[in-house]
Amino acid sequence: MSAIDQMFAQLRREGRKTLIPFLSAADPDLDFTTELLRRLPEAGIRLCEVGIPYSDPIADGPVIQDSYTRALERGITVREILEAIHRVVAETPVAPITMVSYAIVYRHGLQAYVQEAKQAGVAGLIVPDLPLEESSPLAEVCRQQDLSLIQLITPTTPKERAKRIAQQTTGFIYYVSVVGITGERTQLPPEVVDNVAWLREQTDLPICVGFGVSRPEHVRMLAPVADGVIVGSALVRRIVDSKDQPRSKTIENLLSFLRQLAEALEIK
Protein backbone atom coordinates (compact mmCIF):
# COMPACT_ATOMS: atom_id res chain seq x y z
CA MET A 1 0.00 0.00 0.00
CA SER A 2 1.17 3.50 -0.78
CA ALA A 3 1.39 6.18 1.91
CA ILE A 4 -1.90 7.64 0.67
CA ASP A 5 -3.60 4.23 0.71
CA GLN A 6 -2.49 3.72 4.30
CA MET A 7 -3.67 7.16 5.36
CA PHE A 8 -7.16 6.77 3.90
CA ALA A 9 -7.46 3.25 5.30
CA GLN A 10 -6.77 4.64 8.76
CA LEU A 11 -9.19 7.54 8.26
CA ARG A 12 -11.93 5.12 7.22
CA ARG A 13 -11.31 2.96 10.29
CA GLU A 14 -11.66 6.09 12.41
CA GLY A 15 -14.75 7.30 10.51
CA ARG A 16 -13.00 10.54 9.62
CA LYS A 17 -12.53 12.78 6.57
CA THR A 18 -9.52 14.86 5.58
CA LEU A 19 -9.00 18.45 4.50
CA ILE A 20 -6.33 18.84 1.79
CA PRO A 21 -4.83 22.32 1.41
CA PHE A 22 -3.04 23.40 -1.76
CA LEU A 23 0.15 25.42 -1.43
CA SER A 24 1.77 27.13 -4.39
CA ALA A 25 5.44 26.25 -3.95
CA ALA A 26 7.78 29.17 -3.28
CA ASP A 27 5.08 31.82 -3.07
CA PRO A 28 6.10 34.06 -1.46
CA ASP A 29 9.24 31.89 -1.07
CA LEU A 30 10.32 28.38 -0.17
CA ASP A 31 10.98 29.22 3.48
CA PHE A 32 7.34 30.25 3.88
CA THR A 33 6.11 27.13 2.07
CA THR A 34 8.20 24.79 4.22
CA GLU A 35 7.26 26.54 7.46
CA LEU A 36 3.56 26.24 6.67
CA LEU A 37 3.99 22.59 5.70
CA ARG A 38 5.67 21.90 9.04
CA ARG A 39 2.82 23.47 10.96
CA LEU A 40 -0.15 21.98 9.06
CA PRO A 41 -0.57 19.19 11.66
CA GLU A 42 -1.66 21.91 14.12
CA ALA A 43 -4.83 22.19 11.99
CA GLY A 44 -5.26 18.42 11.80
CA ILE A 45 -3.95 18.24 8.23
CA ARG A 46 -2.59 14.88 7.03
CA LEU A 47 -2.28 15.46 3.28
CA CYS A 48 -1.22 18.52 1.27
CA GLU A 49 -0.93 19.41 -2.41
CA VAL A 50 2.18 21.34 -3.42
CA GLY A 51 1.84 23.09 -6.75
CA ILE A 52 4.94 23.04 -8.97
CA PRO A 53 4.99 26.43 -10.74
CA TYR A 54 4.41 26.26 -14.48
CA SER A 55 4.07 29.05 -17.03
CA ASP A 56 0.91 27.71 -18.71
CA PRO A 57 -1.23 25.73 -16.23
CA ILE A 58 -4.25 24.07 -17.81
CA ALA A 59 -6.90 24.43 -15.12
CA ASP A 60 -5.74 27.09 -12.68
CA GLY A 61 -7.49 30.42 -12.27
CA PRO A 62 -5.79 33.81 -11.93
CA VAL A 63 -4.97 33.52 -8.22
CA ILE A 64 -2.86 30.38 -8.63
CA GLN A 65 -1.54 31.42 -12.06
CA ASP A 66 -0.23 34.66 -10.55
CA SER A 67 1.42 32.78 -7.69
CA TYR A 68 3.19 30.54 -10.21
CA THR A 69 4.35 33.57 -12.20
CA ARG A 70 5.85 35.18 -9.09
CA ALA A 71 7.73 32.00 -8.20
CA LEU A 72 9.04 31.51 -11.74
CA GLU A 73 10.20 35.11 -11.95
CA ARG A 74 12.34 34.41 -8.87
CA GLY A 75 13.91 31.46 -10.69
CA ILE A 76 12.53 28.59 -8.60
CA THR A 77 13.37 25.10 -9.87
CA VAL A 78 11.77 21.68 -9.49
CA ARG A 79 14.89 20.37 -7.76
CA GLU A 80 14.78 23.15 -5.17
CA ILE A 81 11.13 22.39 -4.42
CA LEU A 82 11.75 18.65 -4.04
CA GLU A 83 14.77 19.32 -1.81
CA ALA A 84 12.61 21.58 0.36
CA ILE A 85 9.91 18.90 0.62
CA HIS A 86 12.58 16.37 1.60
CA ARG A 87 13.70 18.59 4.46
CA VAL A 88 10.15 18.93 5.73
CA VAL A 89 8.90 15.33 5.55
CA ALA A 90 11.40 14.27 8.19
CA GLU A 91 9.79 16.75 10.60
CA THR A 92 6.05 16.35 9.93
CA PRO A 93 3.50 13.55 9.39
CA VAL A 94 1.90 15.46 6.52
CA ALA A 95 2.11 13.55 3.20
CA PRO A 96 2.85 15.91 0.27
CA ILE A 97 1.44 15.46 -3.22
CA THR A 98 2.83 17.43 -6.15
CA MET A 99 0.40 19.05 -8.57
CA VAL A 100 2.59 19.14 -11.65
CA SER A 101 2.22 19.67 -15.39
CA TYR A 102 3.05 16.68 -17.57
CA ALA A 103 5.34 18.97 -19.59
CA ILE A 104 7.55 19.28 -16.50
CA VAL A 105 7.48 15.53 -15.79
CA TYR A 106 8.21 14.67 -19.44
CA ARG A 107 11.07 17.16 -19.72
CA HIS A 108 12.51 15.92 -16.43
CA GLY A 109 12.08 12.30 -17.55
CA LEU A 110 9.28 10.10 -16.19
CA GLN A 111 11.57 7.75 -14.30
CA ALA A 112 13.76 10.58 -13.03
CA TYR A 113 10.87 12.73 -11.79
CA VAL A 114 9.09 9.89 -10.04
CA GLN A 115 12.30 8.61 -8.42
CA GLU A 116 13.30 12.08 -7.22
CA ALA A 117 9.77 12.76 -5.94
CA LYS A 118 9.73 9.43 -4.09
CA GLN A 119 13.16 10.08 -2.56
CA ALA A 120 11.96 13.52 -1.47
CA GLY A 121 9.03 11.96 0.42
CA VAL A 122 6.29 12.85 -2.07
CA ALA A 123 3.32 10.50 -1.66
CA GLY A 124 1.58 11.05 -4.99
CA LEU A 125 1.29 13.03 -8.20
CA ILE A 126 -1.61 14.96 -9.71
CA VAL A 127 -0.96 15.66 -13.39
CA PRO A 128 -3.98 17.64 -14.61
CA ASP A 129 -2.94 17.90 -18.26
CA LEU A 130 -2.25 14.17 -18.72
CA PRO A 131 -5.16 12.54 -20.59
CA LEU A 132 -6.27 9.03 -19.69
CA GLU A 133 -5.19 7.62 -23.05
CA GLU A 134 -1.59 8.76 -22.49
CA SER A 135 -1.29 8.01 -18.78
CA SER A 136 -0.17 4.36 -18.85
CA PRO A 137 3.61 4.98 -19.05
CA LEU A 138 3.58 7.32 -16.05
CA ALA A 139 1.12 5.08 -14.20
CA GLU A 140 3.52 2.14 -14.60
CA VAL A 141 6.51 4.12 -13.34
CA CYS A 142 4.47 5.31 -10.35
CA ARG A 143 3.35 1.75 -9.65
CA GLN A 144 6.96 0.57 -9.61
CA GLN A 145 7.84 3.27 -7.07
CA ASP A 146 4.64 2.76 -5.03
CA LEU A 147 3.65 6.36 -5.68
CA SER A 148 -0.01 7.25 -6.19
CA LEU A 149 -1.09 8.75 -9.54
CA ILE A 150 -4.23 10.72 -8.75
CA GLN A 151 -6.44 11.55 -11.72
CA LEU A 152 -9.25 14.02 -12.23
CA ILE A 153 -12.91 13.49 -13.07
CA THR A 154 -15.06 16.52 -13.92
CA PRO A 155 -18.81 17.17 -14.15
CA THR A 156 -18.56 16.91 -17.93
CA THR A 157 -16.67 13.59 -17.97
CA PRO A 158 -18.91 10.94 -19.62
CA LYS A 159 -19.84 8.19 -17.19
CA GLU A 160 -18.10 5.39 -19.06
CA ARG A 161 -14.94 7.46 -19.27
CA ALA A 162 -15.20 8.29 -15.56
CA LYS A 163 -15.26 4.56 -14.81
CA ARG A 164 -12.10 4.03 -16.88
CA ILE A 165 -10.35 6.91 -15.15
CA ALA A 166 -11.26 5.42 -11.77
CA GLN A 167 -9.77 2.08 -12.82
CA GLN A 168 -6.47 3.76 -13.76
CA THR A 169 -6.29 5.99 -10.67
CA THR A 170 -4.39 5.17 -7.50
CA GLY A 171 -4.50 6.92 -4.12
CA PHE A 172 -7.74 8.83 -4.54
CA ILE A 173 -9.93 10.34 -7.23
CA TYR A 174 -9.83 14.11 -7.55
CA TYR A 175 -13.39 15.12 -8.37
CA VAL A 176 -13.66 18.62 -9.85
CA SER A 177 -16.78 20.22 -8.39
CA VAL A 178 -17.35 22.89 -11.06
CA VAL A 179 -16.91 23.34 -14.79
CA GLY A 180 -14.02 25.70 -15.48
CA ILE A 181 -10.86 26.76 -13.69
CA THR A 182 -9.82 26.91 -10.06
CA GLY A 183 -10.97 29.84 -7.98
CA GLU A 184 -13.21 30.72 -5.07
CA ARG A 185 -16.96 30.43 -5.58
CA THR A 186 -19.81 31.79 -3.50
CA GLN A 187 -21.76 28.59 -4.12
CA LEU A 188 -21.07 25.10 -5.37
CA PRO A 189 -23.47 23.50 -7.86
CA PRO A 190 -26.05 21.40 -6.00
CA GLU A 191 -25.61 18.49 -8.40
CA VAL A 192 -22.06 17.92 -7.16
CA VAL A 193 -23.39 15.84 -4.26
CA ASP A 194 -25.32 13.52 -6.57
CA ASN A 195 -22.36 13.30 -8.96
CA VAL A 196 -19.99 12.22 -6.21
CA ALA A 197 -22.59 9.81 -4.80
CA TRP A 198 -22.84 8.16 -8.24
CA LEU A 199 -19.06 7.93 -8.52
CA ARG A 200 -18.94 6.37 -5.06
CA GLU A 201 -20.98 3.45 -6.41
CA GLN A 202 -18.44 2.85 -9.20
CA THR A 203 -15.22 2.60 -7.17
CA ASP A 204 -13.78 1.75 -3.77
CA LEU A 205 -11.20 4.52 -4.12
CA PRO A 206 -11.46 7.53 -1.81
CA ILE A 207 -12.97 10.57 -3.53
CA CYS A 208 -11.75 14.08 -2.75
CA VAL A 209 -13.50 17.16 -4.10
CA GLY A 210 -11.82 20.40 -5.13
CA PHE A 211 -12.21 23.58 -7.23
CA GLY A 212 -14.24 26.41 -5.77
CA VAL A 213 -14.18 25.23 -2.15
CA SER A 214 -13.58 28.23 0.08
CA ARG A 215 -16.14 28.28 2.91
CA PRO A 216 -17.20 26.06 5.80
CA GLU A 217 -20.67 25.69 4.25
CA HIS A 218 -19.06 24.26 1.09
CA VAL A 219 -17.25 21.69 3.21
CA ARG A 220 -20.40 20.77 5.16
CA MET A 221 -22.21 20.25 1.87
CA LEU A 222 -19.55 17.82 0.62
CA ALA A 223 -18.77 16.01 3.87
CA PRO A 224 -21.52 13.35 3.60
CA VAL A 225 -20.27 12.08 0.21
CA ALA A 226 -16.55 12.95 0.01
CA ASP A 227 -13.56 11.39 1.75
CA GLY A 228 -11.69 14.64 1.51
CA VAL A 229 -12.09 18.26 0.48
CA ILE A 230 -9.41 20.29 -1.28
CA VAL A 231 -8.97 24.03 -0.77
CA GLY A 232 -6.56 25.98 -2.98
CA SER A 233 -7.29 29.47 -4.29
CA ALA A 234 -8.85 30.62 -1.01
CA LEU A 235 -5.62 29.73 0.78
CA VAL A 236 -3.29 31.20 -1.86
CA ARG A 237 -5.30 34.44 -1.90
CA ARG A 238 -5.01 34.78 1.86
CA ILE A 239 -1.25 34.45 1.58
CA VAL A 240 -1.15 37.21 -1.05
CA ASP A 241 -3.45 39.48 0.96
CA SER A 242 -1.20 39.07 4.01
CA LYS A 243 2.04 40.09 2.31
CA ASP A 244 2.41 43.19 4.50
CA GLN A 245 1.83 41.30 7.75
CA PRO A 246 4.46 39.56 9.87
CA ARG A 247 4.87 35.99 8.62
CA SER A 248 4.10 34.53 12.01
CA LYS A 249 0.71 36.26 12.01
CA THR A 250 -0.01 35.14 8.44
CA ILE A 251 0.67 31.51 9.30
CA GLU A 252 -1.47 31.69 12.44
CA ASN A 253 -4.35 33.16 10.42
CA LEU A 254 -3.99 30.46 7.75
CA LEU A 255 -4.02 27.70 10.36
CA SER A 256 -7.13 29.22 11.93
CA PHE A 257 -8.86 29.25 8.52
CA LEU A 258 -7.90 25.62 7.91
CA ARG A 259 -9.18 24.59 11.35
CA GLN A 260 -12.57 26.13 10.53
CA LEU A 261 -12.78 24.13 7.32
CA ALA A 262 -11.53 20.94 8.98
CA GLU A 263 -14.15 21.27 11.73
CA ALA A 264 -16.84 21.58 9.06
CA LEU A 265 -15.86 18.10 7.82
CA GLU A 266 -17.02 16.54 11.07
CA ILE A 267 -20.43 15.03 10.34
CA LYS A 268 -22.76 15.60 13.28
By annotation, the residues acting in catalysis are 49, 60
Rounded CA separation 12/6 (Å): 10
Rounded CA separation 212/180 (Å): 10
Burial annotation 220-238 (CB, 10 A radius, 16+ → b, else e): bbbbebbbbbbbbbbbbbe
Rounded CA separation 49/231 (Å): 9
Q: How many CB atoms lie within 10 A of CB 101?
A: 21
Dihedral sign for Cα atoms in the order 41, 128, 56, 85: positive
Nearest Cα residue to 163 out of 194, 199, 127: 199
Rounded CA separation 136/177 (Å): 25
